[in-house]
Amino acid sequence: MPRNRVVQVVRFGDADGIEVADAPLPAAGPGQVRVRVLASSLEYTDVVIRRHLYLQTLRREPPFVLGYDLIGEIDQIGEGVVGLRIGDCVADMTVLGSNASYRTLEAADVVPVPEGVDAAEAAAMVLSWTTAYQLLHRAVHILPGRRVLVHGAAGAVGQALLALGAGAGLRMWGTARAQHADLVRSLGATPIDYQREDFTQVLTRGFDVVFDGIGQDGYRRSLAALNRGGTLCGYGYSASVQRGSRLGGIMLAVASVSLRAWLSGKHARIYSINLMRARHPEWFREDLARLFAMLKAGSVRPRVVGRIGFGEVVDAHRRIEAGGLDGKLVLCPA
Ligand SMILES: NC(=O)c1ccc[n+]([C@@H]2O[C@H](COP(=O)([O-])OP(=O)(O)OC[C@H]3O[C@@H](n4cnc5c(N)ncnc54)[C@H](OP(=O)(O)O)[C@@H]3O)[C@@H](O)[C@H]2O)c1
């Protein structure tokens, strides 16, 4: 019988609260498939989850298995599943549980992965690139020529926003540390050094749209960087996680952003991929399938900077939290 290993949070807090453990091999129940995991991303959102600052997983108590997304090969099919076969390669966004050698999935949720694509690159598409695609085309309906500021431009979602934004004909600026300026430029944007420059002073008339997954100062400076009528799209709060803020305060800042925008003649949207998937499951499937087709055609290529084994996961969490990465770390259980 194959061995199952999992990455689990045994204690909320820093990366020392993560352990790799043996686990029973799950069996596919009715309507389910079991997959052998080929690739499962490590994300900044995993840090938010293990620090117990993530709304969707707030009720979970350790131990629980991490792993937001995966690419896997079906090795067992449960009763009543039609249209899927042993050996098919599929993707899913599970929020938890995918940093494992094997897991089960609801057959109705999986998205087929085209043959011949790299599993680690495909894994990067599931959370990071689908988020970027939906921010551009579902949350904001962005038009060519718009002047757009992307925060965290060298990050996983930031790079995807720039790559997809360039294809959509946007004029883009991206905040990143100085060492990532060339990367930001290569993705078609003007770099802004967030450690030395003031992004609110870059355009006198302000940006049309700001995408902000950082949420510095409760998004105040991002709102200030917009022109009148401009739109802030907030989708994360890394700055508050780094500062060790409490979830109540973070949610208050997020909840009040629309009112604050309105008072200054601007607009604000808060995006969550889980909420959008719950409301429009067909959008998630369509958007991910479109991104897989682009990956297969070679028109996009996510940067994967490390394909790691179970033994490197704790260190990978430390690296993600320390910052300075310029691509994804992906667990490839092999
Ligand atoms: N709402 C949703 O559905 C959704 C979906 C996906 C992700 N998210 C959230 O979005 C955020 C970004 O995710 P990610 O996966 O792209 O994370 P990531 O790969 O860690 O990228 C974040 C980037 O932000 C940069 N950064 C940190 N502090 C900054 C600052 N003050 N100004 C400008 N840039 C700064 C980091 O740069 P350095 O490396 O230089 O520090 C890093 O390049 C996270 O909070 C995540 O939880 C939300």
Mean pLDDT of 218-244: 95
Confidence at residue 44, expressed as pLDDT on a 0 to 100 scale = 98
Compute, in angstroms, the gap from residue 213 CA to the centroid of ligand 1. 5
Confidence at residue 55, expressed as pLDDT on a 0 to 100 scale = 93
φ/ψ of residue 324, rounded to 5: 95, -5
Residue 127 three-state SS: helix
Compute the distance between CA of residue 179 and CA of residue 73 in angstroms, rounded to an integer: 38
Confidence at residue 1, expressed as pLDDT on a 0 to 100 scale = 82
Q: Where are the domains of the chain?
A: 4-117+303-331, 127-274
Per-residue pLDDT tens over the stretch 65-93: 999 999 999 999 999 999 999 999 999 99
Per-residue pLDDT tens over the stretch 268-293: 999 999 999 999 999 999 999 999 99
Confidence at residue 47, expressed as pLDDT on a 0 to 100 scale = 98
User: CATH number for the 127-274 domain, one of 3.40.50.720, 3.40.50.1390, 3.30.360.10, 3.40.50.10800?
Assistant: 3.40.50.720
Cβ of 152 less than 6 Å from ligand 1: yes
**Alpha helices per DSSP H over 135-246:** 156-167, 181-186, 220-224, 238-243
Compute the distance between CA of residue 316 and CA of residue 330 in angstroms, rounded to an integer: 9
**CATH code, 4-117+303-331:** 3.90.180.10
Ligand 1 atom nearest the C-alpha of 275 is 3
What element of type H or E holds 197? none
Cβ of 128 less than 6 Å from ligand 1: yes
**Alpha helices per DSSP H over the chain:** 44-50, 119-124, 130-134, 156-167, 181-186, 220-224, 238-243, 247-263, 273-279, 281-297, 313-322
Q: Which residue has the higher pLDDT, 10 or 217?
A: 10
Ligand 1 atom nearest the C-alpha of 328 is 19
Residue 57's region, left for phi above 0, alpha for psi from -120 to 50, else beta, is alpha
Quick check: 153 pLDDT over 90? Answer: yes
Ligand 1 atom nearest the C-alpha of 273 is 3
Portion of the chain with pLDDT greater than 90, in percent: 96
CA triplet 178, 142, 168: central angle to 5 degrees?
70
Q: How confident is the model at residue 6 (pLDDT cuts 50, 70, 90)?
A: very high
Quick check: 2 pLDDT over 90? Answer: no
Q: CB under 8 Å to 220, separation ≥6 — which residues?
A: 260
Compute, in angstroms, the gap from residue 26 CA to the centroid of ligand 1. 33
Cβ of 234 less than 6 Å from ligand 1: no
Compute, in angstroms, the gap from residue 152 CA to the centroid of ligand 1. 5
Cβ of 229 less than 6 Å from ligand 1: no
Confidence at residue 144, expressed as pLDDT on a 0 to 100 scale = 96
Mean pLDDT of 255-276: 94
Q: What are the b/e assignments for 242-278, b being 16+ CB within 10 Å?
A: eeebebeebeebbeebbebbeeeebbbbbbbbeebbe
Compute the distance between CA of residue 304 and CA of residue 50 in angstroms, rounded to an integer: 23
Confidence at residue 264, expressed as pLDDT on a 0 to 100 scale = 93
Across the chain, mean pLDDT equals 97
For β-strands 207-212 and 147-150, DSSP reports them as: parallel
Confidence at residue 237, expressed as pLDDT on a 0 to 100 scale = 95
Cβ of 238 less than 6 Å from ligand 1: yes
First to last CA, the chain: 15
Cβ of 124 less than 6 Å from ligand 1: no
Quick check: 111 pLDDT over 90? Answer: yes
Confidence at residue 141, expressed as pLDDT on a 0 to 100 scale = 85
Residue 206's region, left for phi above 0, alpha for psi from -120 to 50, else beta, is left
SS3 content of the chain, % helix, strand, coil (to 5): 40, 25, 35
Compute the distance between CA of residue 107 and CA of residue 147 in angstroms, rounded to an integer: 41
Confidence at residue 197, expressed as pLDDT on a 0 to 100 scale = 96
Cβ of 154 less than 6 Å from ligand 1: yes
61 exposure class (CB count in 10 Å sphere: 0-12, 13-18, 19+): exposed
Confidence at residue 124, expressed as pLDDT on a 0 to 100 scale = 97
Token code pair at residue 287: 């958007």
